[in-house]
Amino acid sequence: MKKVILPVALMIVLLIMAVHLFHRPELPNLNHLQLQQQFSVKPVASVDHTQFEQLQKDFATPQDVTEACIDCHNERHKEVMASSHWNWERISYVEGRGIERMGKQNVINNFCIGTSSNQQSCSKCHIGFGMSNDLFDFNNARNVDCMVCHDHSEAYIKGTSAAGYPDRSVNLSQVAQSVGRPGNINCGACHFSGGGGNNVKHGDLEMALLEADRSVDVHMAANGINMTCVDCHEAENHKMKGTLYSVSSTHVSRLSCDDCHSSTPHNDRMLDVHTGKVACQTCHIPEYAKVNATKMAWRWSEAGHLKDGEPYAIMDSMGREVYLSIKGSFEWATNVEPEYVWFNGHATHYVLGDEVDTIPLQVNRLLGSATDRESKIYPVKVHRGDQIYDPNTKMLIQPKLWSDAKGDSAFWQDLDWHEAATAGMQEVGLPYSGEYAFIPTEMYWPVNHMVSTKDESLSCADCHTRDNGRLAGLNDFYLPGRDRHAGIDILGKLMIFGALLGVVIHAMARFIMAIRHKEIESQDINY
Amino acid sequence: MQKVYIYKQFERFWHWTQAILILFLAMTGFEVHDSIHLFGYENAVVYHRIAAWMLLGLIVFSVFWHITTGEWRQYIPSFSKLSAQIHYYTFGMFKGEPHPTHKTARNKLNPLQAVTYLGFKLVMAPLIVVTGMVYMFYRTIDANDMVVVSEIPLEWIAWLHTFGAYLLLMFVIIHVYMTTTGSTPLTNIKAMLTGYEELEDTEASHSVIKKEDPHEA
Ligand code: HEM
């Protein structure tokens, strides 16, 4: 009996262990439910600005509106004027540089290159009035543009090449009475259309988010939790949470998914241990530019061609510009799979006047590596192109692009690189040798928006696979399923096939010998 | 010839459970290695880890059993007849020579088996178990933000583990084949299933002869 009881008991113990291990009821994700509840209740305005007499009048200038705002909100302008939205720069400690002021004044981007000498046009996206050149007075509170962020009438638009002033058609009184908490369209007016059109720059921020469904963005979906930009990008005292490393360098006031979701959001240990090394975005944003196309490449070197002596444009079959004489050639793409990099929250930038040290030149570099504790794998949009450069000084050239008239050295008027380079570099106070060329450039845009549903997120085998996985390009660490020691694999296969072969030969030898044996024996008998 | 009770119940249970677990671990492991596709990667990882825990549990039991029953002594290699045994498998058996050693309940492993199984227990199993455990607890930061194992490069662990897996598979192939070299091809396998094997009665210990087995009620 004992002989039976012991193994049976053992079996039962092992079975219970197995059942316990296999059986995993889906637990409610309490943190997630709590967040859903929290963001289901939408904020309600505590005042109605139409009731205020101060706003019930015709405003002669937008500055008058600002003064009316400051009359009541008499400290807020100081907060705004301390923000990077106003200053277009941040002071930060940058590795290898020390303390630097960095921002749109001195950092290059891979689209329209830089704001210097083009402020009249670029300041359409500055929260101020009258930035027409580099002499803008950053201490004048009257020039703060409250309306661009707080307008709720949807009637406020900034004028084209109007130094940040509103379009003449805008009814300032109506706008002033409508103000409230910034909505998606306020942020989107600038952040959706950077680079000169919808979704050109980011790839994950565009008009489609205004009426998204859950497959485009689970957070902002109109038929989902319907969150707004400022639900995450909180702006306590006008200090926005969130940094984008196209211009930012350090992870000060960085916004992270963890802030709401914690670093162990999955109810699944195997997934949760990934969060130490893999950013949420990597799996949860499998592709960007899900609705409208984004620009993936911009080659300035091809700008300046004429047809019948005139500048021209070429559209592709989707109606997208693929060539403009004033800008060069472009490539567009939708549903783009991001590239992946190690990133620790610090970036360096090419600053005007730096010597070009690599070709292609990265106008911004995301720092990090597999061995760095702070680094995680992030998805990025890499925008590739080429830019004008001085082969003698080895500097990128800030060309003067915009002017309202011909003959002012502006490239977009005269299509003359030499003149534009001379004027632009003079404006920023840097030498220009008189010779120019073009070098390939890259810009790295971390992808943070257009978060997909759970079902559409990446699954294990998207990365853990031998060939063509998502992380095929990120080779400084061992990734199970992708990596192996080629030698051990060959040795192992040799061992297995060797064993099989040996066994087969041995068996055949036994078989043949056995038959011979029998033959001999039967011969013996027949004899 | 005498029917002898040679493999005890626990031993058989242990042997076959271990065999199933190892095959299952090989299947799931090589899916993790992206050599085969059976369960899907996510399931393969989960199953591999569960089976690994079960194998560990089994190993604990079997170590306990081997020590308390003294069966571990079966694995003490005797080198005196080792070359005779090797000679038998490479030449002798083709000529129909008899086994150079005799299987008994007290001495059920031939010298070559003893050495091989000792190698299995002292090299292959520890290699795969130790590297497997380190692999399992390898993560730079665990759920509680604690660093568990991080200073050993993961590739070394994975390489050794993979090598151990190949080694084990090779062992399984040869081992399964060798079981067919008994008096008939299925003799040994039947013995491991039922516990009984027909042995020459020369050295058979009387206490384990079937009819006198005290446990058999
Ligand atoms: C107690 C025993 C074992 C433990 C603790 C263990 C653990 C692990 C772990 C943790 C992994 C990495 C995948 C994951 O995270 O789940 C792994 C991979 C693997 N295991 Fe095991 N394992 C064990 C036994 C075995 C056995 C018996 C075999 C095969 C005969 C095997 C073959 C493999 C293979 C081929 C891989 C893939 C390695 C790679 O490509 O990096 N394992 N094992």
Smallest CA separation from ligand 1 atom 12, residue: B135
- Strands (DSSP E) contained in chain B are 2-5, 196-199
Report the residue from B8, B54, B96 with minimal CB separation from A18: B54
DSSP assignment of A278-295 equals B-HHHHH-S-B--SS-EE
Q: In this structure, is residue B159 part of a structural domain?
A: no
Q: In this structure, is residue B180 part of a structural domain?
A: yes
Total number of domains constituting chain A: 1
**Predicted confidence pLDDT, tens digits, chain A (527 residues):** 666 788 788 888 888 887 777 676 777 888 889 999 999 999 999 999 999 999 999 999 999 999 999 999 999 999 999 999 999 988 888 878 888 888 888 888 999 888 888 888 889 999 999 998 888 999 999 999 999 999 999 999 999 888 999 999 999 999 999 999 999 999 999 999 988 899 999 999 999 999 999 999 999 999 999 999 999 999 999 998 998 888 888 888 889 999 999 888 988 888 988 988 899 999 999 999 999 999 999 999 999 999 998 999 999 998 899 999 999 999 999 999 999 999 999 999 999 999 999 989 999 999 999 988 889 999 999 999 999 999 999 999 999 998 888 988 999 999 999 999 999 999 999 999 999 999 999 999 999 999 999 999 999 999 999 999 999 999 999 999 999 999 999 999 999 999 999 999 999 988 888 888 777 766 655 54
* Half-sphere exposure at residue A230, Cβ-oriented, CA atoms within 13 angstroms: 18
Q: In this structure, is residue A477 part of a structural domain?
A: yes
| Mutation choice for ligand 1 from A272, A460, A484, CB with most ligand atoms inside 8 A | A484
pLDDT of residue B212: 40
Question: Inter-chain contact B143–A277, Cβ cutoff 8 Å?
Answer: no
Query: In whole angstroms, what is the distance from residue A83 CA to residue A101 CA?
Result: 13
Q: In this structure, is residue B22 part of a structural domain?
A: yes
Exposed, middle or buried: residue B91 (CB in 10 Å: 0-12, 13-18, 19+)? exposed
Q: In this structure, is residue A397 part of a structural domain?
A: no
ipTM of the complex: 0.85
- Ligand 1 pocket, Cβ-based, cut-off 6 angstroms: A 480, 484; B 22, 25-26, 29-30, 32-33, 45, 48-49, 52, 55-56, 128-129, 132-133, 135-136, 158, 161-162, 165, 168-169
Query: In whole angstroms, what is the distance from residue A85 CA to residue A237 CA?
Result: 13
Query: In whole angstroms, what is the distance from residue B71 CA to residue A459 CA?
Result: 47
- B143-162: average pLDDT: 76
- B207 pLDDT above the threshold of 70: no
Average pLDDT, chain B: 83
Q: In this structure, is residue B10 part of a structural domain?
A: yes
Q: In this structure, is residue A170 part of a structural domain?
A: no
- B206 pLDDT above the threshold of 80: no
CA of B42 to the centre of ligand 1 (A): 14
pLDDT of residue B29: 97
DSSP assignment of A377-445 equals EEEEEEEEEEEEEETTTTEE-------SSTTSS-HHHH--HHHHHHHHHHHHT----S--EEEEEEEEE
Instruction: Report residue B146's pLDDT band, with 50, 70 and 90 as the boundaries.
Output: low
Q: In this structure, is residue B186 part of a structural domain?
A: yes
Q: In this structure, is residue A488 part of a structural domain?
A: yes
Q: Is the pTM of this model over 0.80?
A: yes
Residues above pLDDT 90, as percent of chain B: 40
Where is pLDDT greater, at B119 or A441? A441
Total number of domains constituting chain B: 1
Q: Is the peptide bond before A360 cis (omega within 30 degrees of 0)?
A: yes
pLDDT of residue A181: 94
- B52 pLDDT above the threshold of 60: yes
Q: In this structure, is residue B73 part of a structural domain?
A: yes
CA of B132 to the centre of ligand 1 (A): 5
Q: For residue range B53-105, what is the model confidence (pLDDT) as tens digits?
A: 999 999 999 999 999 998 888 888 777 788 888 888 888 888 778 888 888 87
pLDDT of residue B33: 95
Q: In this structure, is residue A469 part of a structural domain?
A: yes
Q: Which domain holds residue A469?
A: 461-499
Instruction: Report residue B210's pLDDT band, with 50, 70 and 90 as the boundaries.
Output: very low
Q: Which of A21, A132, A134, A144 is closest to A86 using CA atoms?
A: A144
pLDDT of residue A522: 65
Q: In this structure, is residue B43 part of a structural domain?
A: yes
pLDDT of residue A29: 85
Q: In this structure, is residue B147 part of a structural domain?
A: no
pLDDT of residue B47: 93
